[in-house]
A and B are shown apart, each in its own frame.
Chain A
Amino acid sequence: MSAPFFELGYFGDGTGLLVALVIGVAFGWCLESAGLGSARKLAAQFYLTDLTVFKVMFSAVITAMLGVFWLGRLGVLDLSRVYVPETYLLPQLIGGLVFGAGFAIGGLCPGTSCVAAVTGRLDGVALVLGMWSGVLATGLGFPALQGFYESTPRGALTLPQALHLPYGVVVSLVVLAALGGFRAAEWLEARPRAALAANHSESRATSRSLAGGVQA
């Protein structure tokens, strides 16, 4: 068992923060290179014209999921030492609904909003400020929410445990569902319609000129 390195005591908190920085840089680079720093591109997900968000997110999920599974199976990664976010059924479902609504309105999520802000998008800056205000306000009013916040806890419950299926079976189902989803996404994007935010710079230019210039 050689990993996770930090949990096995191979390095301390200071190096851990350096790791945070390096991982963050790689994370930000991946997001921006895929175009996820653009609110128009992200919002297009919800109009089924540009499914980049879905493709990036689920490619990442199945990559990491397969990596975790097989490294665990090979005995390289001690899966029991990896922190699995705890499940609180109701707050996370409701929180997800609220978050999704905000995502459609704002067009960026917390991570991508930082990328947008730092690359010059003023709407990204506004969203970062709004997000910070929302977290602050929720935190200040937390005592009123605390009961709901702590309701329906299930500990670090995983889908294999909840569905009473072997871990590998769930992994398999998620991979197949994702690959199927990718096929559906390609089909949805290929439908003819006015290009909103496609992945080609030429058609982006076309849509901009059609729209009559939308830059600030």
Chain B
Amino acid sequence: MSTGRDNRMLRPLAVAALVLGILAPFGGSPYRARHGAIDVAALAHTVAREEDHVTALELAQWIKDRRPGLRVLDVRSAEEYAAFHIPQAEHMPLDSLTAIAFRADETLVLYSEGGTHAAQAWVFLRALGNRNVYFLRGGLYEWLEQVMNPTLADTSAGGRAAFAHAAVLSRYFGGVPRSDLHIRPSDDDAIRLPKRGDSTQSAVPLPKHPVADRLLQVRRRGC
């Protein structure tokens, strides 16, 4: 029997357990990650270089390409999410967003209705140490405008090529590209804004945007 040798090994373990156990209440909390560290200069730099956001078309391409590790997060309310959300998007309200731990190999794209809440969430997640985080700057409106109903506005060669690319993506997501629609001013039911410095109020009419109707159908709740 090796009880003597066992006891010699046991004693320091027992002492260690007792000491570590008694010190534990004075040790504070074992959780660390929820207090984020904001490196303001680094974040500002990232924003200035426009590496904080993606366009809706870029996101659409990522979803279509089944980019590995992609997670699209909808930070709106549950009702808004249920009414409409970007395909593959998960519902993740702001509260639970900071409680979930994301893996380092995941690419997170946040969106909200207009983009403000998503931009705030971007700061939170960056502060918690996640690196591959982006958001849709124009929110859901940008998705509807760029992906679901892209319009041919720029008739130059480059513009047509860009529209063709957008049209392919749009059809993939069940959208309706509108190449027959040209934006031109019209006098009837146009919004008239006074020209600066012109007291006679000969306004330059804003064209009525065909997508605006669709956008307004998305209930305006918040950002």
Contact = CB atoms under 8 A, between A and B. Distances in A.
A176 to B, nearest CB: 6
Given A69-B27, A70-B27, A80-B101, A175 B21 contact: yes
Interface residues of B, number: 24
Contacts of B26: 168
A79 B99 CA distance: 12
Give chain B's interface secondary structure class.
loop
B30 A73 contact: yes
A81 B101 contact: yes
Given A68-B30, A179-B18, A171 B24 contact: yes
Contact of A72 (B14, B25, B31): B31
A172 B21 contact: yes
A78 B101 contact: yes
Contacts of A179: 14, 17-18, 21
B22 A72 contact: no
Contacts of B28: 73, 168
Nearest to A75: B32
Interface string A1-39: 100000111000000000000000000000000000000
B103 A7 contact: yes
A38 to B, nearest CB: 18
B191 interface: no
Nearest to A200: B1
Contacts of A174: 21
A113 B169 CA distance: 56
A166 interface: yes
A119 B101 CA distance: 41
Contacts of B1: 200
Given A7-B103, A80-B34, A176 B29 contact: no
A200 B33 CA distance: 48
12 contacts: A1-B129, A66-B21, A66-B24, A73-B28, A79-B33, A168-B24, A168-B29, A171-B21, A171-B25, A175-B20, A179-B14, A179-B21
